[in-house]
Amino acid sequence: MNAEDRGMFAQRAVAENYRRYLQPYLFDPWAQRLVNSVGLQRGQAVLDVAAGTGAVARAAAAIVGGSGSIVASDISRSMLSSITSTAAAANDDKASITTLECSATAIDLPDASMDVVFCHQGFPFMPDRVAVAREMFRVLRPGGTVAVGVWALGEHLYPFDDYAAFVRKHVPDSAFARSMGSGSLSMTSEDVAAALIGGGFADATASVEHLTVQWPTASEEARGITGTPFGPEIGSMAPAAQEAFLVQLAASLADENGATVPHPSVSVFGRGSVPR
Ligand SMILES: C[S@@+](CC[C@H](N)C(=O)[O-])C[C@H]1O[C@@H](n2cnc3c(N)ncnc32)[C@H](O)[C@@H]1O
């Protein structure tokens, strides 16, 4: 899964299931951690690159407040559409979120227009990360900050490694089984720092971060697979086969009583700034 792929998160159902079963239990807690790592100020202008369904954008909107502004950019219109559809319900003192459908290598924003740029779990999908970092550098103001989060290479990647192991066993010819897993979704600290330095952030550093995540039910944990690029393969199964697959997957993820268990999760956070 290294190529830039507009189609990977393009399906409406994948985006909706990502928002429902993956974002709240896995991506929101990590997005909040990434946002907190930067010390955002009220009134700041923030860009969330590869924003998906808006985990980082929403967390940032609550901190920069109504006097701030958020742009959420992504290559997939379907992923961005859930941000647009929930924007109207946003509370008063939150920044409004503007969506921008574009590649991370060609961000449709002026030079030096942002205070902080985030990219959470987007780098692994981008073949030219130095070009992405260069775009981030370009849109940041002097003194601006970039913060990038990716899964840490060499660590067990829950739930994707577990989904992949289950699929490999039960649907051996699945494209998902071949492509999904920590190797294709993760990076080292050195990889992250090198990409940022290559893009112009001479002071870039990276650190390893730990967080425990947990789903409320094994069924929701299992349904997270429908929010991945394997979603269309599941969606094409007959309804009874699909339900049986998800019930078996849920059983494989739960403990002996069918309950969910907390999972350690490890990321790399990269940071850099533009000289004043
Ligand atoms: C795993 S999701 C992460 C979404 C979000 N940042 C979060 O933390 O929930 C990866 C996102 O990267 C987007 N993406 C992949 N390649 C991209 C590219 N070249 N430019 C912009 N977005 C891209 C996908 O459409 C998808 O929404």
User: What angle is formed at CA 115 by the lines to CA 91 and CA 140, rounded to 5 degrees?
Assistant: 135
What atom in ligand 1 is closest to the CA of residue 5?
16
What is the residue-level pLDDT of the chain in tens, covering all 276 positions? Answer: 333 445 678 889 999 999 999 999 999 999 999 999 999 999 999 999 999 999 999 999 999 999 999 999 999 999 999 897 665 455 578 999 999 999 999 999 999 999 999 999 999 999 999 999 999 999 999 999 999 999 999 999 999 999 989 988 888 777 776 666 667 889 999 999 999 999 999 999 999 999 999 999 999 999 999 999 888 888 888 999 999 999 999 999 999 999 999 999 999 999 999 999
- Beta carbon of 54 within 6 Å of any ligand 1 atom: no
Q: CA dist 99 to 61, 120, 257, Å? A: 13, 16, 43
Query: Which ligand 1 atom sits nearest the alpha carbon of residue 50?
Result: 22
**Largest alpha-carbon pair distance within the chain?**
60
What is the whole-number distance in angstroms between the Cα of residue 257 and the centre of ligand 1?
A: 35
Paired residues of 74 in beta bridges: 101
Ligand 1 atom 8: the closest Cα is on which residue? Answer: 120
Strands 114-120 and 96-101: unpaired
- CB of residue 119 inside a 6 A radius of ligand 1: no
The pLDDT of residue 1 is: 39
Mutate-to-test residue for ligand 1 from 74, 121, 225, highest number of ligand atoms within 8 A of CB: 74
pTM of the model: 0.94
- The pick from 5, 8, 75, 179 for probing ligand 1's pocket by mutation, whose C-beta has the most ligand atoms within 8 angstroms, reads 75
Q: Say yes or no: CB of residue 56 within 6 Å of ligand 1.
A: yes
Gyration radius (Cα) of the chain, Å: 18
CA-closest candidate to residue 198, choices 138, 129, 143? 129
- C-alpha 52 to ligand 1 mean position (Å): 5
Return the domain boundaries, the chain.
Answer: 3-154+183-215+262-273
Supply the CATH classification number for the domain 3-154+183-215+262-273. 3.40.50.150
Ligand 1 contact, 14 CB (< 6 A): no
Handedness of CA 42, 266, 259, 184 (dihedral sign): positive
Ligand 1 centroid, distance to 201 Cα (angstroms): 22
pLDDT (0 to 100) of residue 7: 64
The pLDDT of residue 89 is 52
| Strand bridging mode 114-120 / 140-152 | parallel
Note the pLDDT of residue 200: 98
Would the CB of 75 count as within 6 Å of ligand 1?
A: yes
Ligand 1 binding pocket includes 115 (Cβ within 6 Å): no
